[in-house]
Structure 1
Amino acid sequence: MKACNERRVCVTGATGYIGSWLVRSLLQQGYHVHATARDPGKAQRMLSTIEGIDRLQIFRADLNEDRSFDEALKGCVGLFHVAALMEFGTSVQENDHVRRNILEPAVWGTRNLLQSCMRSGTVKRVVFTSSISTITAKDEKGDWKPVVDESSVTPASLVWKTKNPGWVYVLSKLVTEEEAFKFAKENGIDLVSIIPPTVAGSFLTPTVPSSLQVLLSPVTGDPKLYPVLVSVHSRLGSIALVHIEDICRAHIFLFETSRAAGRYLCSAGSCTLPQIMDIVSLELPNWISKSSKVEFNRSAPSIISSKRLLDLGYRFKYDAKDVIKESIQSSIGNGFLNSQVEFKV
């Protein structure tokens, strides 16, 4: 085994929503962090004011470049693979184009990254950030399951068939997670995955993260993102939520807990769209709704369960209502909601 620092880890996608906050969380807990980004200058500007920056190194790396992560992974004992495509609005419908230009490069990039882990000789565990887009609350007959857990995987064939809003993102997550576990098993890599639902709350990124924009689309009436939220609600029966601080704490928890294995759903709770609107109305009593009038049940038909994670000893700090409230306040502070929302005079 090559020389390593037991508190040195690598985070991919450091300029993204989860990635940037995870870097912050790791530094707060005393880790030395190798943060990777395609644009290291952007990462430097975004992360320059966080506490513990003397233990942060930023590396340029790209999943599509062979051996691009070799340098960043030198001496690291852990890898948090957070980087991901966050393209919800693609209009591409041609299956061959999606396979050739999106899915195949994504799979190759995952394999490329894990090969760098092997070459490092020091990485002991990989935490892979999946997505609740890989999960469905409906069974083979289309009926609601009473409980949704890590085994409730969305069939790729159904995604190809329906092409619901955000379908390319869903496929990319399905195929890359499958490849990650396959490669890890074949090559003796200790890999666990965490399945975040809609992540929201505060943020370090200069612009409002996509997940917050999707969550707040009933408020803004965004014509591209509101259908994504409706699609999630139709697949799960509600919108599962987790605070950014909790999802990052859970990443670190899974890295540090030796008996962790497999997949872990990380949802603090869920709200139906009517319930979300109720909370929004209390926080923004004078806002004028721009979203289309779609009928939804007020109660969720399925429980989205994080039992595996809770049984391992993890505890959430924020509930779903907290997440929505803080998302609204953060987006007001950023100026996003002020420019997007029409208020009654």
Structure 2
Amino acid sequence: MEDDRQNSTALTYCVTGATGYVGSWLVKSLLRRGHTVHAAVRDPAKSLHLLSTWNGGKRLQLFRASLHDDGSYDEAIKGCDGVFHVAAPMQFDVHESTDAYVHSNIIDPAVQGTLNLLKSCLKSKSVRRVVFTSSISTITAKDSAGNWRDIVDESCRTPIDHVWKAKTSGWVYVLLKLLTEEAAFQFAREKGIDIVSVVTTTVGGPFLTSSVPSSIRVLLSPITGEIEMFRILSAVNSRMGSVGVVHIEDLCNAHIFLMEHAEAEGRYMCCADSCPMSKLIRNLAKNYPQSNIITRLVDQENESVPAEISSKKLRDLGFNYKHLAEDIIRETVTACINFGFLPSLAT
């Protein structure tokens, strides 16, 4: 599935959040290219199940690190050529809704954690670039007047004040991504750190984690019936006019491509394909027909796609996607059946 070609210039990279969906696959991708990987995790014991899958041998080292502890990443980043900052709290909503609580208990620690990581990059003297994993949650397809844009790209950021006011499903995660990315770029500009971010759409495909990743649960929510996950998917569709998707392999390839491409700068949308909710649900129905929720949802959806989610900036650098929506959904369903998250299809 992945590119097995050995890189002629083997480098050393640190990956934060290495036990997560994107982080674990990114570690695997880097090792298969012949690089050395410093996998930074909060609890190394919880990553033991990944060791045989990663198969990194002496080129893989595990480091205990936490974003909440200043200097915690110093050893993991020491001697690295680049850092992939994937780690992020996966907190979508909170029961305690006061702004002060969210700021002091969720937002501020997340922002400070990102700054702690960047301080470790400065100390290393070896890190040449940081690639930050952002999210489509930071993007909106509507302009300031509430009208649909024709093209949606990296510049179409969701206004922070609107997130605080609307508090739609997943709003805490939206704030986390918006504010940590903003703080990272500001700190990088001030300190002369080369930083690039990948604005990822909903991720699907196979996974290495010991539980089903949140993005897959969101993507499959029309057939699993997980109400909170479907609310998040609906919020994405409402904000974007469609659901953008990307295969985990393409996403990790994009991270590595942007790390290694000398001309890369700023933010890059990573969207292989997009479709309205009705098309997404029909595609899910095709690959997993055992569901009572699909027909009812399809009938409620409009076919039009008001805006194009554009990866032109990334494609213009020379990046190409291998997987489109139908392929992504098929592999996601298959992976979840094999994992036991979805019951096997009746024969």
TM-score, normalized by the shorter chain, greater than 0.5:
yes
Query: What is the match of residue 28 of structure 1?
Result: 32
One-letter amino acid matched to 2:264? A
* 3-state SS, counterpart of residue 225 of structure 1: helix
Query: What is the match of residue 87 of structure 1?
Result: 91
Distance 1:69 1:124, change over 3 A: same
* 3-state SS, counterpart of residue 49 of structure 1: helix
Aligned length: 338
Does the CA-based 8 Å contact 1:220-1:290 persist in structure 2? no
Deviation (angstroms), 1:66:
1.1
Q: Any unmatched runs of 5+ in structure 2?
A: 1-8
CA distance in 1, matches of 2:290, 2:125: 58
1:309 aligns with 2:314: yes
Query: What is the match of residue 341 of structure 2?
Result: 336
Normalised by the length of structure 2, the TM-score is: 0.94
CA distance in 2, matches of 1:209, 1:71: 28
Query: What is the match of residue 190 of structure 2?
Result: 186
User: Equivalences for 1:191-340 in 2 at 5 Å?
Assistant: 191-289=195-293, 293=297, 295-338=300-343
Normalised by the length of structure 1, the TM-score is: 0.95
* 3-state SS, counterpart of residue 54 of structure 2: coil
Distance 1:289 1:191, change over 3 A: same
Distance 1:217 1:291, change over 3 A: farther
* 3-state SS, counterpart of residue 142 of structure 2: coil
One-letter amino acid matched to 1:166? G
Distance 1:153 1:291, change over 3 A: farther
Does the CA-based 8 Å contact 2:285-2:294 persist in structure 1? no
1:37 aligns with 2:44: no
1:161 aligns with 2:202: no
Q: What is the RMSD of the two structures over their aligned residues, measured on CA atoms?
A: 1.7
* 3-state SS, counterpart of residue 342 of structure 2: helix
Distance 1:221 1:185, change over 3 A: same
Per-residue CA deviation, residues 74-123 of structure 1 (Å, 9 max, x unaligned), is 11010000001112243231100000011111111111100000001100
* 3-state SS, counterpart of residue 203 of structure 2: strand
CA distance in 1, matches of 2:50, 2:295: 33
User: Equivalences for 1:5-20 in 2 at 5 Å?
Assistant: 7-20=11-24
Distance 1:53 1:238, change over 3 A: farther
CA distance in 1, matches of 2:106, 2:296: 31
One-letter amino acid matched to 1:313? G
